[in-house]
Amino acid sequence: MSSHKARRVIDQIRDRSYEETLMILKFMPYQATYPILKLVSSAATNAIQSRGFNKANLVISQAKVNQGPTGKKRRPRARGRNCLIKKQTCHITIVLKDTSLLPRETRDYQEKQEDFSIRTF
């Protein structure tokens, strides 16, 4: 699939939870959703088995699509001519993050905000 077609699906699932992403991808009407659904589920399975994360805590922190190599082939046309057919490909990158590790970071951020507000008075 082309990177443009995959990018419109990826933009919908960025910064969402794993379970919400699966639900969105199952009901979207685009052909690009099936390979992305397989990729997200594979990334979640790898995170669970290798890192020991929980499915309920997974969030898609980064999702990007880059253009891949273009496959070219010729198709015969009338009067001995030919036509070039371009098959575009893309590279999809999905990064999952465990939200059970986030409260410590958000706590530090809130403490910094409170310190700043105290200094301003």
Domain ranges across the chain: 3-120
Instruction: Pick 84 or 106 by higher pLDDT.
Output: 84
Distance CA 95, CA 87 (A): 27
Q: How is residue 69 annotated by DSSP?
A: P
Instruction: Pick 43 or 116 by higher pLDDT.
Output: 43
Region for residue 104 given its phi and psi (left: phi exceeds 0; alpha: psi -120 to 50; beta: otherwise): alpha
Do 63 and 14 touch, CB atoms closer than 8 A? yes
pTM: predicted TM-score of the whole model, two decimal places: 0.77
DSSP-derived pairing of the beta strands 82-87 and 90-98 = unpaired
How does pLDDT run across 23-67, given as a tens digit for each residue?
Answer: 999 999 999 999 999 999 999 999 999 888 899 989 999 999 999
CATH topology for the 3-120 domain: Ribosomal Protein L22; Chain A (3.90.470)
